Amino acid sequence: MAVRHRLIRVSPRDVWAVLADGNRYAEWVVGTSESHPLRGQWPRTGAAIRYQIRLGPVRLDNETVVRHHEEGTRLELEAHAGVLGTARIAIELRPWGEHCLVIVDEHPLLGAGGRLHNAGFEVLIQLRHRAMLARLARLCENEVTDTGGARRALGQVTAGPGTGGARRA
């Protein structure tokens, strides 16, 4: 099982807003493009989206189905990747102070991915998760900043009101 986590410097509500938009799936999931609703209302249980995976010149049409969701805290998906098989991906959002700790847990279920699963395969999934969580963080944090959320770097020095000097944020 490949488990990876990342602290995203926005609220769990802000992260959920991105996860709950099936049209944005390709913006944060590595290797996907052109995500579109297929059936149901994403992210409700049973809803599905369709997207393409590009491996060099090869393009594969795949889909992901919501198997379970708990509004604002948990999303469990089953990704169908044709001959590569299926995988379970669980995404958990935990409040961490004013931020969100995102935990991703993925493992293959059926097909070639399940049969070939080994330590080397696990390393590839970990690398993919690192990139995916970095994309998700960038997307969420940029949206909060773009919509006027006052997010400052930790330790940034700012001028205090009426102090005429600097203070540590």
pLDDT digits (tens, 9 = 90+) for 66-83: 999 999 999 999 999 887
In three-state form (DSSP H/G/I as H, E/B as E, the rest C), the secondary structure along the chain is: CEEEEEEECCCHHHHHHHHCCHHHHHHHCCCEEEEEEEECCCCCCCCEEEEEEEECCEEEEEEEEEEEEECCCEEEEEEECHHHCEEEEEEEEEEECCEEEEEEEEEEEECHHHHCCCHHHHHHHHHHHHHHHHHHHHHHHHHHHHCCCCCCCCCCEEECCCCCCEEEC
- pLDDT greater than 70 at residue 1: no
Question: What are the tens digits of pLDDT across the range 115-162?
Answer: 666 666 667 777 777 989 999 999 999 987 665 554 444 444 444 455
Looking at residue 46, its pLDDT comes to 98
The pTM for the full model equals 0.80
HSE toward the beta carbon, residue 70, CA cutoff 13 A: 8
| pLDDT confidence band for 110 (50 / 70 / 90) | confident
Q: Which residue bears the tokens 């990747």?
A: 81
pLDDT digits (tens, 9 = 90+) for 12-56: 999 999 999 998 999 999 888 888 899 999 999 999 999 988 878
How far is it, in rounded angstroms, from Cα 78 to Cα 163? 55
Full set of structural domains in the chain with CATH: 2-148 (3.30.530.20)
